[in-house]
Amino acid sequence: MIDSAILKKSIKEKFGHSDCSIFSAPGRINLIGEHTDYNGGFVLPASIDKCISLAIVPNGTSTVNLYSIDYDESVSFDVDGEKPKQQWASYVYGVIQEMKKRGASPGGFDAVFGGDIPLGAGISSSAALESVFGTALNTIFKLGFDKRELAKIGQMTEHNYVGVRCGIMDQFASLFGEAGKVIRLDCRSLEYELFPFEPEGIRLVLIDTMVKHSLASSEYNVRRAQCEAGVAVIAKYKEGVELLRDVALEDLDAHKGEMDPEVYRRCHFVISENQRLLDGCEDLSRSDYALFGQKMFRTHEGLSKEYGVSCEELDFIVEIARSVEGVLGARMMGGGFGGCVLAMVKNENHDEYVAKVREAYQKRFGKDPRVIDVVISDGARQW
């Protein structure tokens, strides 16, 4: 988290305010539950100790004045005016517009913000930005939104002002997260339950492949279509089937011959992943982190072999994880074709794992991976 003293100094230098309100909202990880969200299933995210923080003061006008510490760039716009050209400012503008659609009237304000969420690592800096401004505006203008509505406001900001048709997991995790807990979120009902995640002597580490394959967006749409094709087959025989969430493995296997083999594999992964997540929550309830870690490995195997969204670099890092004593589990995290591997590692084996990955990855791919240690921490809040 960026130091509050830096924020206070910056808002005084930029806008002359000696007093201000400080807010922060975190990025997130997802421990198990990949490509389950758009199939009506479950996800298991957690907020982390990497945040975007802001200092904010209402200015009594309809003008928004922003300064991004990270970009060293200033933007001003009217709350009723046109969307700013800078993409980072579009997130703030979108949050305001989505609040107005819901009958609220946020006024103008001066704000400075910055953060320590590594960009491009797949830990949701955009959701953190939406969540921190949503929380701040809701508080200082007394708008009365609950956290569920703030999550929807963030999601619709992405849809309508940024052009990303994201699910709601990232915003939900940023707003509802708690230190030492993961969130089992039902993506269909938005009901959630918190489960303990405080493994003694164990750390979470992300290894960023620094790879962003162009396949990700187009293949995402292909996977959605394949899942829908599988659902269409089962729906001919079973009432009430609308999403893969509604399909049991026995139903899928009973009609396997009517599906393209690739469609069957995609559906098999999603149904299995949903059950794996539910079983994993039981592991956490018993503090059985070793068994939970094995499920992480199986998730990666399914994503790679059945769902076909891994890549050579991700598989390589997971194989190294399997070879290092003390790595309880590891898997690719996110949409796929690049991004990060999330690993659960005993403290005494952390440095060995990181060193082995760095050396082998550099030798194999000629580049250094980015290493990001994370701790499960609280969600959006005022300081």
Q: So what's the pLDDT on residue 201?
A: 96
Q: So what's the pLDDT on residue 266?
A: 97
When pLDDT is cut at 50, 70 and 90, the band that residue 117 belongs to is: confident
Q: So what's the pLDDT on residue 363?
A: 97
Q: Residue range 119-141: average pLDDT? A: 90
Gap between the Cα atoms of 115 and 113, Å rounded? 7
Q: Residue range 330-345: average pLDDT? A: 91
Gap between the Cα atoms of 19 and 12, Å rounded? 8
List 58's β-bridge partners, or say none. 109
Domain with CATH 3.30.70.890 in the chain: 202-374
Gap between the Cα atoms of 160 and 94, Å rounded? 8
Q: How many Cα neighbours within 13 Å face the side chain of 215? A: 14
The string of pLDDT tens digits covering residues 146-168 is 999 999 999 999 889 988 777 88
When pLDDT is cut at 50, 70 and 90, the band that residue 381 belongs to is: very high
User: Selecting from 3.30.230.10, 3.30.420.40, 3.20.20.140, 3.40.50.880, what CATH number does the domain 4-198 have?
Assistant: 3.30.230.10
When pLDDT is cut at 50, 70 and 90, the band that residue 214 belongs to is: low
Taking alpha carbons only, the member of 136, 157, 5 closest to residue 58 is: 136
Gap between the Cα atoms of 166 and 26, Å rounded? 17
Q: Residue range 360-372: average pLDDT? A: 96
Could you tell me the end-to-end alpha-carbon distance of the chain, in angstroms, rounded to an integer?
12
User: Is residue 19 among the annotated active site residues?
Assistant: no
Domain with CATH 3.30.230.10 in the chain: 4-198
Is residue 2 pLDDT above 90, yes or no?
no
Q: Residue range 248-269: average pLDDT? A: 97
Gap between the Cα atoms of 168 and 163, Å rounded? 15
When pLDDT is cut at 50, 70 and 90, the band that residue 317 belongs to is: very high
When pLDDT is cut at 50, 70 and 90, the band that residue 346 belongs to is: very high
Is residue 215 pLDDT above 90, yes or no?
no
Q: Residue range 125-132: average pLDDT? A: 94
The pTM of the full predicted model, rounded to 2 decimals, is 0.91
When pLDDT is cut at 50, 70 and 90, the band that residue 217 belongs to is: low
User: Selecting from 3.60.15.10, 3.20.20.100, 3.30.70.890, 3.40.1710.10, what CATH number does the domain 202-374 have?
Assistant: 3.30.70.890
Q: Rounded mean pLDDT of the chain?
A: 94
Is residue 122 pLDDT above 80, yes or no?
no
3-state secondary structure the chain: CCCHHHHHHHHHHHHCCCCCEEEEEEEEEECCCCCCHHHCCEECEEEEEEEEEEEEEECCCCEEEEEECCCCEEEEEECCCCCCCCHHHHHHHHHHHHHHHCCCCCCCEEEEEEECCCCCCCCCHHHHHHHHHHHHHHHHCCCCCCHHHHHHHHHHHHHHHHCCCCCCHHHHHHHHCCCCEEEEEECCCCCEEEEECCCCCEEEEEEEEEEECCHHHHHHHHHHHHHHHHHHHHHCCCCCCCCHHHCCHHHHHHCHHHCCHHHHHHHHHHHHHHHHHHHHHHHHHCCCHHHHHHHHHHHHHHHHHCCCCCCHHHHHHHHHHHHCCCEEEEEEECCCCEEEEEEEEEHHHHHHHHHHHHHHHHHHHCCCCEEEEECECCCCEEC
Which residue in the list 19, 37, 80, 170 is annotated as catalytic?
170
Taking alpha carbons only, the member of 89, 50, 69 closest to residue 373 is: 50
Encoded amino acid at 27, one letter: G
The string of pLDDT tens digits covering residues 62-73 is 999 999 999 999
Q: What percent of the chain has pLDDT over 90?
A: 87
Q: Residue range 104-108: average pLDDT? A: 96
Q: Tokens 């609308």 appear where?
A: 242
Q: Is 158 left (phi over 0), alpha (psi -120 to 50) or beta?
A: alpha
Gap between the Cα atoms of 235 and 249, Å rounded? 14
When pLDDT is cut at 50, 70 and 90, the band that residue 238 belongs to is: very high
